[in-house]
A and B are shown apart, each in its own frame.
Chain A
Amino acid sequence: MEPNDEETLPALHLNFIGKTLSVFTHEVKNHLAILRESVGLIGDLAEMGKLSSKAEIADSLQVIQAIDNQIGKTSWLCTQLNRFAHRMDKPFSTFNVNEALEELSELLHRLANQKRIAFQKDFDKDIPPVYGSPAQLELLVFRIIDQHMLRLPGGGAIVFKTGHTKDSIKINIIAEGNLLEYNEEVISHDDICEHIVRRLGGDISTAAGDGKVSITIPLSFPESGGEFDLKKTKSS
């Protein structure tokens, strides 16, 4: 018997976390390589007695500044991973959708970059917090990004656009570039995405042909319906 969406979800979530960690470690290794070479360069200059003239000292100060900047970038990336990890501390929490999307785009930036796809953000600055599962939302967005990347074999962009009404948050994830047509392998979103969105109490739709997937999540926890109805869970 084929496993259903609920049974498949934990394995898919682990797969997503594994992929994110793999991309992160690759990125950090590159950062460490830059740091090692920069530190090594200072050592080389010192050994060769090339730290005496004003010009040489100025050059080496530039290298030191570059080291400092690189440490800043690496630290920022570690902060994003830390935030990502802590999303999984509790099944539900109040969170900011822009921040969740930002950390996801930072962590997956290298993956997109390799496919010559740029991540762009068009965030609603006044977006209110939403109560739900940020970890599940990130899994959902990841699956949509994955499909969009398949539609952009020649590169392009994926735009994350957020907005809100008085009742809900809206997230648009738009693929831009020379898009492959949808077919059996390249789809907008799959049953798992629909399943996760139902769990979040929301809605997912695709604008036919133009690479836009829209997710709508209610602002407050639903009174009834949705598989994560806390009131239902408490009473059962």
Chain B
Amino acid sequence: MKKKKDIKVLLVDDEVDFVNTLAQRLKMRELLVDTVYDGEQALSFIKKIEPDVIVLDLKMPGLHGIEVLREVKNIRPSIQVIILTGHGTDKDEEEARQLGGFDFLRKPADIDLLVAKIKEAFAEKLERAMTAIAYAEEGVFDTAQKIIRKEE
């Protein structure tokens, strides 16, 4: 019997109370959740462990969330990133989507909506991975890479 894959989520936000409480609630909804509190910690984390989905704040001390998104897509393009911010402007949203952000939510967000978006992002990641594998098996490695990077 095929084992159901648990979705690995990394929460990135400098509001410690918020991110810890959100983590608790997401764990109750059968997600595997880790938390970090700024952009530098997020980038260190993903070099060691690859989450499926990152839920990322924008305005944090140190690295801005947009810079974190850019770096994540450079280092681990298959990771899906959902922006969750109290500040986001339309310009931020446009830039995040252009950089490959999966979705853009504003705080305070509804937990059911957030979980649905995480699951959608994960499903898209799986679909891309399967398609990329199919191309790789045919020897079309360039296309396989582009699919992972969402360039196709």
Contacts and interface: CB of A to CB of B under 8 A. Distances in A.
A227 B107 CA distance: 46
Interface of B is mostly: loop
Interface string A22-37: 0000110110111111
A26 B88 CA distance: 9
B137 interface: no
Contact of A33 (B25, B60, B86): B86
Interface stretch (A13-21, A38-46, A137-145, A212-220): A38-46
Interface string A92-107: 0000000000000000
Interface in A47-67: 48, 63, 66
Contacts of A34: 15, 17-18, 21
B133 interface: no
A116 interface: yes
B60 to A, nearest CB: 7
B55 to A, nearest CB: 12
Interface string B18-29: 100110110010
A113 B62 CA distance: 9
A109 to B, nearest CB: 12
B20 to A, nearest CB: 9
A206 interface: no
Given A26-B59, A26-B87, A37-B18, A32 B108 contact: yes
Contacts, number: 55
Interface residues of B, number: 20
A70 interface: yes
A231 interface: no
Given A29-B107, A48-B28, A66 B17 contact: yes
Nearest to A63: B21
A165 interface: no
Interface of A: 26-27, 29-30, 32-38, 40-41, 44, 48, 63, 66, 70, 110, 113-116
Interface of B: 14-15, 17-18, 21-22, 24-25, 28, 59-62, 86-87, 106-109, 111
Given A114-B60, A115-B61, 11 more contacts: A29-B87, A30-B86, A32-B108, A33-B18, A34-B17, A34-B21, A38-B17, A40-B111, A41-B25, A63-B21, A113-B61
11 contacts: A26-B59, A26-B87, A29-B87, A29-B108, A32-B107, A34-B18, A37-B25, A38-B21, A40-B111, A44-B28, A114-B60
